[in-house]
Structure 1
Amino acid sequence: MKSLLRWSVRLGVVSSAVAGFLVSMVPNSIALPQEQIVQKLQQVPVFTVADENGSPLVASGDDDSQVTGVFMSQQDAQDFVGRLQEENPELGEQVQVVALSLGEIYQLEQQNQQNGEGLNFAYVPTEEQVNSAVSLLEQQGQQVEDFQGVPLFIARSSQDEGYLTVEQNGQQIIPLFFEKQQLRGMIEQFEQSQPEQANSVEIDVISLQGMVQTLEQEDDPQLEQVELVPSQESLEFIQSVQQQQQQQQ
């Protein structure tokens, strides 16, 4: 939990203070050391279902593989536990929602791959953001029935294909949002500050899994600018944890 608290102040800055904008050309590839990838993912809280000892609730597949769910929304995870308590009270009463960081999940995935263990993670995005991603792709002329993975939304200029960046602590970052609504808020501020470019900004959607794979495999230091911005629900969760820690102290 300390890893989440460490990012709480910074996330507040990213999500609200967007005084400086820049449209810049950034290549579509990057290769980062694993510790830097973990650091980028560490700021995002995710939620799993586990027993009181921390053992995750797993489902077994036909090939004997084991899968545990990783919810992007705490409310979705709580709703899942609620349904489980109704359908299987004995099991449902033994589990609870546990918060981790996306960086910790990534590290567990890497360890599982190295050790040849069979536990897999199934990421569960929010239905609202999946629908937003599908709608956006359809508007762009693509035929899609469903969006595979967790959607991330990013703004770019239709004039030069550069990504919209935000100035933070004297540096330009490229924010990737888990909620389309949050990105829309940033774009509206950009349009107010630079009305001459108001019609040039478009929204793209990519998958979280694809973004991580690109960070792992490609080679371009400029994409160190990429920063993940958690959903509003997740930001409120981080703030609540911080307040609880302060009260305890």
Structure 2
Amino acid sequence: MKTLKRWGITLSLIASTLIPTWLSQSSAVLALPEADIVQMLSGIPVFTFLDAQGAPLVAQLEDKTIFASIFMSQRDAQQALAQFQKDKPDLASQYKIKVISLGKIYQFARKNSTQSQRFVLQYVPTQVEFDAAKKVAGINGQPYQGGVPVYIANGGPGKGYLTIKQNNQDIVPVFFEQGAIQKMVDELKKNNPEVGSTLKIEVIPLNILIANLEQQDDEFWKSIRLWPSQEMIQIIRANAPNKPK
């Protein structure tokens, strides 16, 4: 398994004036093909510990489940590695922090899960977004259960999910940063107060979102697009194939 240098996402800036449309979630329960899920996740760079052969560091659980930690922030990965080096210096010396596509590590975990042993990805949130998620969930009257949060907006007629245009397609943006989706909502409130006043931000753990992608196959889930954090965008730009040398 090698670190990816090309990211499967085309970034575009949110237009200064958004024209909101709405997409309702249907009740179909067929799974999206794995290739489609990998493609959807492929634009998100994350951090993990890999050895010289490109294999991730895993831990064994009693129930024959192994897991690898996946970090959204390089700083968090560095702090975890520093602690690992203190606790198990000999083993830690075999691993380095690497950037890898979320789609690639997801696919790796799927391929290495068997009937006798599951390979699970443990998504590690940043403290900033974990605190933001608890606040958003609290506003909606629900406790946040943990994990890496992603944010989505709904409102308008029928309380559908907000869509925007990207590459001439209607997509449902799902953000890794609460501040980014709040900026979009504030912009809509300013430019279209009638619609903007109906908007509500929801927070979903990333692992729950992915589980829904695995179990659902309908227009709503196919239209999901993960919106990278600022740190992720910097990585994408740094690895762009047309980046000047």
Q: Name the TM-score class by shorter chain.
A: 0.7 to 0.9
Q: Does 1:68 align with 2:68?
A: yes
Structure 2: gaps (5+ residues):
none
Q: Does 1:39 align with 2:33?
A: no
- The residue that corresponds to 2:219 in the other structure is 221
The structure-2 alpha-carbon separation of the partners of 1:82 and 1:196, relative to structure 1 and needing over 3 Å to count, comes to same
User: Contact 1:158–1:202 at 8 Å: present in 2 too?
Assistant: no
TM-fit CA distance, 1:89: 3.8
User: Contact 2:7–2:42 at 8 Å: present in 1 too?
Assistant: no
Alpha-carbon separation, structure 2, partners of 1:191 and 1:166: 15
Q: State the TM-score, normalizing by the size of structure 1.
A: 0.84
The structure-2 alpha-carbon separation of the partners of 1:209 and 1:118, relative to structure 1 and needing over 3 Å to count, comes to closer
TM-fit CA distance, 1:124: 1.0
User: Contact 2:22–2:156 at 8 Å: present in 1 too?
Assistant: no
TM-fit CA distance, 1:131: 1.6
Write out per-residue CA displacement over residues 79-117 of structure 1, whole angstroms, 9 at most, x where no aligned residue: 212233344444443321111111112212221234644
Alpha-carbon separation, structure 2, partners of 1:62 and 1:33: 30
Tell me the C-alpha RMSD between the 2 structures: 2.6
Given candidates 230, 233, 238, the residue that maps to 2:231 is 233
User: Contact 2:42–2:102 at 8 Å: present in 1 too?
Assistant: yes
- The residue that corresponds to 1:183 in the other structure is 181
Alpha-carbon separation, structure 1, partners of 2:141 and 2:217: 30
- The residue that corresponds to 1:194 in the other structure is 192
Alpha-carbon separation, structure 1, partners of 2:136 and 2:40: 26
Percent identity over the alignment? 33
The structure-2 alpha-carbon separation of the partners of 1:244 and 1:92, relative to structure 1 and needing over 3 Å to count, comes to farther
Q: Does 1:173 align with 2:171?
A: yes
| SS of residue matched to 1:21 | coil
Structure 1: gaps (5+ residues):
none
TM-fit CA distance, 1:25: 3.3
Q: State the TM-score, normalizing by the size of structure 2.
A: 0.86
1:111-190 equivalence runs, <5 A: 111-114=111-114, 116-142=116-142, 144=143, 146-157=144-155, 160-190=158-188
Alpha-carbon separation, structure 1, partners of 2:147 and 2:20: 29
TM-fit CA distance, 1:159: 5.2
Write out per-residue CA displacement over residues 6-54 of structure 1, whole angstroms, 9 at most, x where no aligned residue: 446x12x0x5446433231321556422211111111111111122332
Number of residue pairs the alignment of both structures matches: 242
- The residue that corresponds to 1:23 in the other structure is 21
User: Contact 1:18–1:186 at 8 Å: present in 2 too?
Assistant: no
Write out per-residue CA displacement over residues 157-177 of structure 1, whole angstroms, 9 at most, x where no aligned residue: 165211111112222111000
User: Contact 1:133–1:147 at 8 Å: present in 2 too?
Assistant: no
- The residue that corresponds to 1:59 in the other structure is 59
The structure-2 alpha-carbon separation of the partners of 1:4 and 1:172, relative to structure 1 and needing over 3 Å to count, comes to farther
The structure-2 alpha-carbon separation of the partners of 1:172 and 1:70, relative to structure 1 and needing over 3 Å to count, comes to same
Alpha-carbon separation, structure 1, partners of 2:83 and 2:242: 28
The structure-2 alpha-carbon separation of the partners of 1:17 and 1:92, relative to structure 1 and needing over 3 Å to count, comes to farther
Alpha-carbon separation, structure 1, partners of 2:191 and 2:119: 48
The structure-2 alpha-carbon separation of the partners of 1:119 and 1:165, relative to structure 1 and needing over 3 Å to count, comes to closer
TM-fit CA distance, 1:62: 3.4
Alpha-carbon separation, structure 2, partners of 1:18 and 1:113: 45
